[in-house]
Amino acid sequence: MTRIPRVIGILSALLALAGTLCAEESVVDITINDQSIREEFEAGLEALRQSPALVPAVELIEQLRAQGAGGARSSETHPQLSLSKPGERAMTSSEVYRSALQSTLIVGNLYQCGKCSRWHSSLAGGVLIDASGVLVTNYHVIDSDKAAVFAAMTVDGEVFPIVEVLAASKADDLAIVRVRADKDLAAAPLADRNEPVGAEIRVISHPDGRFYTFSEGIAARYFLDPGKRSARLQITADYARGSSGCGVFNETGALVGIVSSTDSIYYTEENKVQRNLQMVVKSCIPLDSVRRLLSKWTSPRN
C-alpha cells in the first residue's frame, strides 16, 4: 500500500471534509479539490511504478485477456468472497451518497504517450465489493497497452496497487480485480437482483476528472448491446467520460450496475458533422452480469 502524504491533512486536500454536517437535514457539504486529488493519485502511481514489488501492467493485461471470454482464475489460488448483504431501509439521497462514497474508487494507470518523456495518467472508476480489496470495474479500463502500472485510490486518499485480475468478460465489459491492502476496506453490498425499470437509481462518478459527482435518475430499460449481444442497463442519471467503472446504486445503497458507456443521438448530419444533439444514452452493466461473472470465479459466502 502507498499512503498518500498528508500536507494539510488528506481530508482538506481531497474531500475537505471540513465539510459541514447539517444535523437538521443530515446533509454533508463536501468541497472537492479535483486538482489535488489528481496530483495525489499521480504521486501514488509514480511511487508504485518505482516499487520493486510492482505487478507490471503487462502481466495484468495478459490475465485480463486470457479471461476475456468470461473465464476466471482457479478458485484454488484465492480466498472466497464475503459479500455484504444489502440493507432493507430506503435511504435519502444524501445517505446513499455518504454510504456509497466509501466504496467508490478512482482506478487509473500511468502511461507514456510516445511523443514525450513524461508519464501521463488515465483515470476512471471502480467499486469495492469485498473488504479484502476485491473491486469491479470495466474491462476496457484495464485493457490498455500503454499502461505501466495500475492502482486504485480510496476516498480517504490511500493508493493501493492492483495486483491480480480475478475474472473478466470482454462482452460484458467487466473486470474483477484485487488490490494489495494491509487492512479491510469499505465494500458496497450487491443488490439481490436487477432493479426494475422505473426504479430510482444513483450514480457516483468522475466525469472528466470531476471526482465524486452525484447524480440521480431511473432505470430506463434493459437491452442487448447490438455489437456484443450482451445485456445492458440504460439509465437517466448523468455521467460522462472518466466515469467508466463507477457504481450505480439503488435506494438502499446497494450496487445495481456499473457505468460503461455513452452514445450521443443527433438529429442531423451535415458534411459528416453531427448536429442538433437530442439525447445522450447512458449504458451500464446490470447487476446480473456482475453476479454471473462472480459465480464463474468463486462461490461467494453471503
pLDDT at 81: 82
Give the C-alpha separation, 156 to 17, whole Å. 10
- Note the pLDDT tens digit of each residue in 214-262: 999 999 999 999 888 899 999 999 999 999 999 999 999 999 999 999 9
Give the C-alpha separation, 182 to 177, whole Å. 16
Q: Is residue 41's pLDDT more than 90? A: yes
Q: Is residue 14's pLDDT more than 60? A: no
- Among 24-38, 81-95, 208-222, name the most confident range: 208-222
What domains are there in the chain, each with its CATH number?
2-189+291-297 (2.40.10.10), 200-287 (2.40.10.10)
pLDDT at 19: 41
For 222, counting Cβ atoms within 10 Å of its Cβ (0-12 exposed, 13-18 middle, 19+ buried), the class is: middle
Of 251, 129, 261, 135, the C-alpha closest to 202 is 251
Give the C-alpha separation, 248 to 114, whole Å. 35
- Note the pLDDT tens digit of each residue in 102-158: 999 999 999 999 999 999 999 999 999 999 999 999 999 999 999 999 999 999 999
- Note the pLDDT tens digit of each residue in 158-185: 999 999 999 999 999 999 999 999 999 9
